[in-house]
Amino acid sequence: MLDKLGSSLKDALKKLAGKTVVDRAAVEELVKDLQRALLQSDVNVKLVMGLSNAIKKRSLEEELPKGVNVREHVLRIVYQELVNLMGDGGEVKLGAQTILMAGLQGSGKTTTTAKLARYFQRKGLRVGVICADTFRPGAYEQISTLCSKINIPCFGDPKEKDALKLVRDGLPSMSGLEVVIIDTQGRHALENDLIQEIIDINTISKATHRWLVIDAALGQQASEQARRFHEAIAIDGVIITKMDGTAKGGGALSAGLTLTASFPGSSAWGI
């Protein structure tokens, strides 16, 4: 999705090359190209309109800074507005924290847990993972195999049926580590007991962050899911997975962005 957006933007910006004043027709054309690219990626119409109005207004009203050409000026505005849209939290914080992973079964929580663990480890932090998935057969084996490949300690017990007990027992075993990621179970639908369980895990673990993992293929249907999880545990980050496999990534991203817009300080990432 972002590849396509990148090349459409490049083409649109080319039309501004060599210009000495920002002309309305060129900006309008650029905004139209940008809208087309975002809508094709299934990004929510309201978000697209907000973004394009802001870009148009700023490009036409802001004075051209000294030594900056029209193309660079507009490019900077487009970049800043895209970053704004992605939420003001922006970056993953590199400090001691407990992260609770939430989402439906198959959304990519376990895979993302390992990716995140690797990310923090590469940044020099000591990381551990707790497997609180007692539902999916082979859940512990899946995450512990991924963790052992990257030398990350993983707490779990494939025979234990109580996810809350796993979290209670797992946390003390992770003392001395800086980042603890708790991988939870998902189910096929948003069942009430799953929601209650994640509320309890959140309370017990006193998680610093609660990140919702959404499969990009869900498109705009992701909103309902995001809203339910948000009501339960105040999601403060949304990770869209499988962006490599679908052109509908923008829909899921919109769900994340709509949520983050209503929850200041939260972020959305597509991986």
Ligand X SMILES: Nc1nc2c(ncn2[C@@H]2O[C@H](COP(=O)(O)OP(=O)(O)O)[C@@H](O)[C@H]2O)c(=O)[nH]1
Q: Which residues bind ligand X (CB under 6 A)?
A: 103, 105-111, 186, 241-242, 244-245, 271
User: Closer to Mg ion at the Cβ: 138 or 245?
Assistant: 138
Q: For residue 217, what is the DSSP state?
A: G
The CA-atom distances, in angstroms, between 135 and each of 115, 127, 159, 191 are: 22, 24, 11, 13
In the chain, at which residue ranges do the beta strands (DSSP E only) sit? Answer: 97-102, 127-132, 154-155, 179-184, 209-215, 237-241, 267-270
Query: Does residue 134 bind Mg ion (CB under 5 A)?
Result: no
C-alpha closest to that of 102 among 219, 227, 220, 221: 227
User: Closer to Mg ion at the Cβ: 110 or 205?
Assistant: 110
Residue whose C-beta lies closest to Mg ion? 110
Q: For residue 42, what is the DSSP state?
A: T
How are beta strands 209-215 and 97-102 bridged, if at all? parallel
Give Cβ neighbours of residue 160 (< 8 Å, ≥ 6 apart): 134, 166
CB of 210 to ligand X, least distance (A): 15
Restricting to residues 91-130, name those near Mg ion by CB under 5 A: 109-110
User: Closer to Mg ion at the Cβ: 110 or 246?
Assistant: 110
User: Closer to Mg ion at the Cβ: 56 or 118?
Assistant: 118
Binding site partner of 248, from ligand X, Mg ion, none, Cβ cut-off 5-8 A by kind: none
The CA-atom distances, in angstroms, between 201 and each of 30, 112, 132, 135, 207 are: 47, 19, 9, 15, 8
The phi, psi pair for 217, rounded to 5°, reads -65, -15
Number of residues in contact with Mg ion, rule: CB under 5 A?
2
Binding site partner of 223, from ligand X, Mg ion, none, Cβ cut-off 5-8 A by kind: none
User: Closer to Mg ion at the Cβ: 66 or 159?
Assistant: 159
CB of 7 to Mg ion, least distance (A): 35
Please say whether the beta carbons of 60 and 22 come within 8 A: yes
CB of 185 to Mg ion, least distance (A): 7
CB of 243 to ligand X, least distance (A): 7
CB of 24 to ligand X, least distance (A): 41
User: Closer to ligand X at the Cβ: 75 or 252?
Assistant: 252
The phi, psi pair for 99, rounded to 5°, reads -115, 125
CB of 75 to ligand X, least distance (A): 29
Binding site partner of 103, from ligand X, Mg ion, none, Cβ cut-off 5-8 A by kind: ligand X
Binding site for Mg ion (CB under 5 A): 109-110
